[in-house]
Structure 1
């Protein structure tokens, strides 16, 4: 959100400059607090970004299957992770929750949440997968329901 505001909301002066003292203190802070920011944070952020991008792509693919609100036809989604799974947007959701759990060091409540998300979305994905296979004779046989 903050980056978006910097790009599209703020109108800084063309002559505005950061004071060298602020710059040095800011860099020093991140160097001194390196233990607070571990490799797992970087990996979790990368996983979060990766899953978010794919979830967005999958949602767009699903939205494009019905170009008009009056269109009632069902179609088989293709592209991105749909090559491997029937409900890849659910798998991406699980990865997003996993990334958050990694950042939080997997407290018990997050472990329970991950189990719930896996069971809930996995069940829904399995039902969707079965429906696709019944509805479309040419549905790709190699696709899994939820997990690659």
Structure 2
């Protein structure tokens, strides 16, 4: 069974747009047009000169909640579909649900974020979550991949979720009481890379791609990985400029390599 022509065009377009948009965001990070959240809130960016700002906690909830709801609703809109589809819907939903829980109960915040950047990131996460699920649904009639990687993907997803949560928890413990200032992270893979939470988020998306095995899932993974690698590179530069005692052996996101 083939995907109808109109649906095939939609799938191809979604894949290409996702890949181009994420690669653009990664390139923008490298040239200094940072999305304004976290430590880059007051940097030069694609926003206007007098941007509207939100509290970081509200902004982060806006980031993840629409994507979580898209995953949750998918169980009712697209019931069934086989084990692979159920695993994909579950992974997408749980990932963004976990991020909402971290925003509410784990993360500690020191500032604001720009509304324009909040909208861009929210739209990306929402369309990524919805697109992954819809494209997989449209592909259900196709033959199964010759090499089935869904169980490998599930293992990678669990590894990524666990590592990401562990390092987010370490970050939250850096600040005591009402402290606002940034500190050099320690412990776990922070002793080797400045953004291990990004490394494990990449592993999460690799796991989702291996579960789904659609072109869009691999495009999302590749594009998101390039953005996070670029963001980690800029993050390391920020720490080097801010802290004279920042350990030079600590890489960006891949231990001992980059």
Report the TM-score when normalising by structure 2: 0.40
- Aligned-pair CA distance for 1:77: 0.6
Distance in 1 between the 2:186 and 2:148 partners?
35
Q: Which residue of the partner structure matches residue 199 of structure 2?
A: 91
1:103 to 180, 199, 211: 211
Two-structure CA RMSD over aligned residues (Å): 2.1
More divergent stretch after superposition (138-147 vs 53-62): 138-147
Deviations 1:48-99 (A, max 9, x none): 111111111110111111122x312221111111121111101110100000
Distance in 2 between the 1:73 and 1:99 partners?
34
Q: Is the 8 A contact 1:54 1:80 kept in 2?
A: no
Q: Structure 1 unaligned segments of length 5 or more: list them.
A: 2-34
1:120 to 224, 227, 232: 227
- The aligned length equals 112
Q: Is the 8 A contact 1:51 1:93 kept in 2?
A: yes
- Aligned-pair CA distance for 1:124: 1.4
Q: Is the 8 A contact 2:152 2:211 kept in 1?
A: no
Q: Structure 2 unaligned segments of length 5 or more: list them.
A: 1-89, 91-143
Distance in 1 between the 2:155 and 2:254 partners?
19
Q: Is the 8 A contact 1:52 1:92 kept in 2?
A: yes
- Aligned-pair CA distance for 1:43: 2.1
Q: Which residue of the partner structure matches residue 150 of structure 2?
A: 41
Computing the radius of gyration from Cα coordinates, the structure with the larger value is: 1
Distance in 2 between the 1:46 and 1:112 partners?
20
Q: Which residue of the partner structure matches residue 57 of structure 1?
A: 166
